[in-house]
Amino acid sequence: MLRISIANAKARRLLVLEGKLIAPWTTELLQNVRVNGPPGRELVIDLQGVTDISADGEETLYNLMVQGAKFRGGGVFIQQVLKQLAQRARRNGSI
């Protein structure tokens, strides 16, 4: 299960994730990103409460990263996943 809490501000949208970032919850996350507010705001995703990330979850984070999302929080495991995704994006010329 994945809980998504949303905090909208004038300049940014903050999504706070808690639980497992796995299918089918990755689809739910993407729907929240698309529907939640007007484009142009900075998207920040807080991963502090994420306990597990599947391959599908990593791919979702990668796609959000390439689209310009910023990430914060998370333990050592989450930070390592984000580091690897950022390296992949740089190799592909996506960021």
CATH number of 8's domain: 3.30.750.24
Task: List the one residue out of 21, 15, 89, 93 whose CA is nearest residue 55.
Answer: 21
Q: Which domain holds residue 42?
A: 2-91
Number of domains in the chain: 1
Question: How would you list the strands of the sheet with 70-72, edge to edge?
Answer: 2-8, 12-21, 42-53, 70-72
Per-residue pLDDT 10s for the chain (95 aa) are 999 999 988 889 999 999 999 999 999 999 988 876 556 789 999 999 999 999 999 999 999 999 999 999 889 999 999 999 999 999 998 77
